[in-house]
Structures are given as C-alpha cells and as structure tokens.
Structure 1
Amino acid sequence: MEQRAYGTTGKQFPILSFGAQRIVDEHHCTEEEAIQIVNRAIDEGITYFDTAPSYSQGQSEERLGKAFQQRRKDVHLVTKTHDRTRDGSLRLLEESLGRLQTDYIDEWRLHNIMTMEELDRCFAPGGALEALIEAKEQGIVKSLSISGHTNPHVQLEAIERFPFDSTLVALSAADHFIYSFAHEFLPKAAEKGVAVVGMKVFALGKLAPWYEKALRYTFSLPISTAIVGMESMEQLEKNLAIAKSFTPMTEIETLEFFKEIVHLANPDVLRWKASEWMSGQWYVRA
C-alpha cells in the first residue's frame, strides 16, 4: 500500500487504516473474529488503529487489547476522550489503558468537538486539554489530536490555538457538499504541518453502492491516511484490495461521482452535520 507522511511527526502510515468501532458484538463481530481481523490487518501492513472508550462501552478497546498481545510495538494506537474536563479525561485514560492492556497510548484525541462552546470548555482552566498536555508530559501519551465531524471552522480554530499533531475529520465524498473539511480545513492543516486522518468514508453506509469510488475519493485527498470501520474479514480483504490497487481519481472521475451522489446531501443522510444527530435539520454555525 502507498505510504504517506503523518504531518511533521516523522512517521508514515499506509493510506488504509483501521477504525475499530465495529469489531464489537453490536455489529455482530465476535471476540474471536475481532482478534483474527486485527491480526490479519497487521500482517497486511496496517499499523494505525483508532478506537475510543465510548465505542460499545469499552468493548472495542478491550478487543484491541486482546488482539495486540505481543504486537503492541507493531502498531500506532489511538484512543480518545469524550469528557471535556481534565479530571474526567484522566479517569477515562486510566480506564482505556487497562482495557487496552498497555502502559502508553501513541495518540490521545479530543473526541468529536462539534461546537465552539465545546472547544472553549476543553481549552478552559480545568478543561480536557490540560489532561492531554499532562499525559504527554508524563510520557503516557506520545502525541495529541482532535476530531470533528461537523463544522470545519471549529477544527480550524483548534489548530490555531494549539499545535495538535493530528486531526481526524469527516472526509467522505458526500461531505464535499456542505461544511466541507476538504475545502475549508485541509489547506490550513497542510500549511501548519498537521496530519489529517479521513473518516466517515462510506457516509454511514450510504455510499456502499459506490464502494470503490468512495474509498478512492478519500484516498485521493491530500491526507495522511483514512480510517475505515471493518467488522468482518471479507470487508478487510475488500478494502485491502482497493488500497493496494489505488490510483488517484481524476477531476473528471470525481465530477461524475459527485453527480451520482449529490442527492445524498441532506441532513437525514449526513447526520453528523445536523443540528442534532437525528434532527433532520442542518447544523447552523454560530
């Protein structure tokens, strides 16, 4: 697979990375299957694994911890805090370390900062950013990150305020049409040397009928890597095949793809860009 630089960290990762949200009972993936899928991914060169304590109440983290065993040093492990306070975030980190069976996290991420108000809470005295800085100073985490699904202006403000090593943002082809991280965020992140990880590649399954095109679109963006959720060996192998044969989309291919999917640009489909998850109304910028 093509390898790309991870911002200015000196690291490189394949264009396909592993979103671990789906290797859980909730997505009909058993523990045995999860361990097999994760180890197959590592065997095939995938080294970047993204999880969070909120994914199935910690089951995602637990299964990654069991899967890695003696392979911990072979992977770049990312987890998150959804708490907006210092104390709450440090408690989450301690719990994550236990479930992941490790004494360090390669990257710790503020999870889904949707609004400026949430960003302000994280940056305020006693906010979650204090926890990130303390954990890095103590060597418990190696690098710091922030994620956002909704409003690129929030993440733009975040990287102006603090030198995050990376960002995780929504970069499906359907995201192109409104609150576009591709248009508004990627140029500034590149200017600052901040690594960008793409997510929501299949738009919660709505782009499944255009499976290969959806992956190729996101891979074609100027990003470091894209995380894709995989709950079966079949999905992993399919994604690996596309990643290994990847060629960038041409402008004409991209335009034709957009014409096929523009009808998906509504808040019932792009729920992460709605005012609330199921509101049916677009998010409105402050």
Structure 2
Amino acid sequence: MNRREFLEATLALMVASNAIAASKPPSAREIPRRKLGRTGEQVSCIGLGGAHIGRQKDEAESIRIIRRALDNGINFLDNCWDYNEGQSELRMGKALQDGYRAKAFLMTKIDGRDKKTAAAQIDESLQRLRTDHLDLLQLHEIIHDNDPERSFAQGGAIEAMEEARKAGKARFLGFTGHKSPAMHLRMLEAAQQHGFRFDAVQMPLNVLDAHYDSFEKRVLPVLVREEIAVLGMKPLGGSFILQSKAVTAPECLRYALSLPVSVTITGMDSLARVDQALKVARDFQPLSEKQVQALLAKTEKVAKDGALEKYKTSIHFDGTTKHPEWLG
C-alpha cells in the first residue's frame, strides 16, 4: 500500500457521524470513532494505554485520569495482566465502577503460553478489573521465536482464549508484539494454518518505525487487507522519540492517526496528557502527503539502525524476557 491508499483506508475507518464535529467549538467536539476491523464495533481513534496507569503515587489520580478520558469520549482502554504488578488492572477496575464500565471498550492482555497459565491469568484479570467480560482479550508480547508454535499447540494459550470467548469472558481475540514484523507475520500464518482468525493485532506504529524494520510497511497492509483491526501503539516510541527533539508529541500522534488504524494507544500518565490527547483527537485531520514526507525527513537521521526503537533492538521493553515465569 502506498501513502494514498493508506489515507483512503484511514478515511474509510472513520465514522461519518463525526464529520460534523469540526463545526463545533473545540471543547465540544466529539472524539472521532473508527471501525474495529470486521467486528462491527466502533472505538475512539485515541486509546488510553494501561502501562502508564498504576505509576501514579496516588491511586485516586489514576482513577481521575481514566474517568477524565471516558467522560470526554475516549472509550478504548488498554491494559495487561503484568502491568505494574497488577496495579494497572486493579486501579482501572476501581475506575470502572459507578457506571463507567458501560462507557468503555475494555481490553487486556495475558502472557501465558500454555492453556492452564493463560486461563488463570484471564480469570485474575477479570477479577482485578471487576468485570465479567473483556471486550478484547489479547496474547501479549509475541516476541519469542517459539511463540507461534507454542501458542497454537495442543494445550496452548489459544485454546484458553477460545474457551474464554465461548464462555462469554471475552468478546474478541487478538495478539500484540513490539519486536519484529516477521514474527507478527509468522503469528498470522500460524493462525491461518490452524483455521483461526484474529480480530485485532497490536504493534508499534510511529514516525521512526517507518524507517527501520517497519511494521507499517510489512504488517499493516496485511491487516488492512484481511480486515483485522489495527491497534497502533508506541506513537511516541516510549518517550524516546521526544528525546530526539526531532518532532513534537502532537506531530507524533497526528502521524500515527493518519495511518489506517482503528485506534492509536498512547500513555496518559497525567490529566495534562489526557487533555493533550483529547485536543489532537478532536482537531484531527489526516496529514497530507507533503506533511508526511516532511515528518519522515525530520526523523530519518535519528531513526537510523533502530537506536531509538529500543523495543525492537534491546530487551528494554521485554517483560516476558525478564520474567519467563509469566509464560508458564
């Protein structure tokens, strides 16, 4: 897919009912919604990342962050069984009380690669999140060479995920990873070989990825073609992009949102970060080809060899490498 095709695909994902939003005052504009692949669901174009929830010293601040996002139209919530030793899920579960669960499209991730471990983590996540079901359940960190084979093996994690869906514990299923486009493609191939189709796939999509071992170039076109929901993450590259001083946070978010993604998940560790994401989403217009090329030109040098994409080139972000016991 070329840039023009990306733009056309992005526009197709956006819900027509939000076209009138631009005529409203900025504070009253709705957050654009996009189709979640072939699921029939519509989610906010910006999603709240769970890894940053649980890091606040005051639990009440975490709850305020989540509720500020939900009250202002961000409905996609990301989380994971292993984030902040479970604190991210525990705090999100508290934030979802008092009617807030109904406002959320709730996603979490598990690490277990065998059926027993995966099933136990699913149940623990549901308990922490104080809900009887997940809108999306994903297998976390497909970053190990044997992940596709192990996940789809008899008695593997996919069996636990399918059983969770049948039991009403999860509506849709997906997987995530940040290490290698080739590994994502192998996971998709393994699914096809086993007669399984993922509803969603999560991966890094940002102004640096476009230059080095790119998920955008290798995996994104496959997902769009197969109508699998694309969940973009790390639009700021885990803050490393901003440290380069090459681009600003709003530029990074606009670039990520200009790709054919259902949602761009970004960390919001303060109310100010929530408000920043809300402003970008409310004012969003896809970047032109000229604007895209200008951003890529500004980031080409710092993107060399993936030095700032540490999730690809180091174990900095590899939770299951540092904690293999989470895999089971």
Q: Does 1:9 align with 2:39?
A: yes
2:167 to 133, 138, 146: 138
Q: In 2, distance between residues paired with 1:178 and 1:214? A: 16
Inter-partner Cα distance in structure 2 for 1:269 and 1:221: 21
Q: Which residue of 2 aligns with 1:223?
A: 261
Q: 1:202 aligns with which of 223, 229, 236?
A: 236
Instruction: Decide whether the 8 Å contact of 2:241 with 2:308 is kept in 1.
Output: no
Question: Quick check: 1:65 aligned with 2:103?
Answer: no
CA RMSD of aligned residues (A): 1.6
Which residue number corresponds to residue 100 of structure 1?
129
Alignment-derived partner of residue 180 in structure 1: 214
Query: What's the secondary structure of 1:95's corresponding residue?
Result: helix
Shift of the alpha carbon at 1:64?
0.4
The residue type equivalent to 1:86 in the other structure is K
Q: Which runs of 4+ in 1 moved over 6 A?
A: none
Q: 1:190, 1:87 → 2: CA distance?
A: 33
Offset at 1:263?
2.7
Instruction: Give structure 2 stretches of 5+ with no counterpart.
Output: 1-30, 319-328
How many correspondences in the alignment? Answer: 277
Shift of 1:278: 8.3
Quick one: percent identity of the two aligned structures?
34
Confirm or deny: 8 A CA contact 1:268 1:278 kept in the other structure.
no
Q: Which residue type is aligned with residue 49 of structure 1?
A: L
Q: Partners in 2 of 1:217 and 1:97 — Cα distance?
A: 34
Task: Give the partner amino acid of 2:161.
Answer: L
- After TM superposition, list the pairs within 5 Å mapping 1:157-176 onto structure 2: 157-160=186-189, 161=191, 162-176=196-210
Residue 273 of structure 2 is aligned to residue 273 of structure 1? no
CA contact 2:43–2:105 (8 Å) conserved in 1: no
* TM-score w.r.t. length of structure 1: 0.92
Q: Which residue of 1 aligns with 2:53?
A: 23
Q: CA offsets per residue over residues 231-275 of structure 1, 9 Å max, x none?
A: 100010011111111111112211111121223323442111115
Q: Which moved more, 1:248-257 or 1:3-12?
A: 248-257
The gaps in structure 1 that reach 5 residues or longer are 280-286
**Number of the residue aligned with 1:154:** 183
Please give the secondary structure, in 1, of the residue aligned with 2:173.
strand
Please give the alpha-carbon distance, in whole angstroms, between the structure 1 residues aligned to 2:162 and 2:79.
Answer: 20
Distance 1:98 1:7 in 2: 28
C-alpha change, 1:95 and 1:146, in structure 2 (3 Å) is: same
For 1:116-171, what per-residue CA distance to the aligned partner results, in whole angstroms no more than 9, with x for missing partners? 41111111111111111111111111110011112122222323423000011110
Distance 1:224 1:67, change over 3 A: same
Output the CA distance in 2 between the equivalents of 1:230 and 1:21.
9
- Structure 2 SS opposite 1:107: strand
Q: Does 1:252 align with 2:290?
A: yes
TM-score, length of structure 2 as denominator length: 0.81
Residue aligned with 1:22, SS = coil
Counterpart secondary structure, 2:51: helix
Q: For residues 182-238 of structure 1, what are the alpha-carbon distances to aligned partners after superposition, in whole Å with 9 as ceiling and x for unaligned?
A: 111111111111000100100111233421110000000011111111110001001
Instruction: List aligned pairs for 1:108-119, cutoff 5 A.
Output: 108-119=137-148
Aligned equivalents of 1:238, 1:278: Cα separation in 2: 24
**Hey, what does 1:40 align to over in structure 2?**
68
SS of the residue aligned with 1:113?
Answer: coil
2:272 aligned partner: 234
Partner SS for 2:301? helix
1:222 aligned counterpart, secondary structure: coil
Match of 1:189 among 220, 223, 247: 223
Supply the AA of the counterpart residue of 1:11: E
AA aligned opposite 2:118: S
Mean Cα deviation higher: 258-267 or 36-45: 258-267
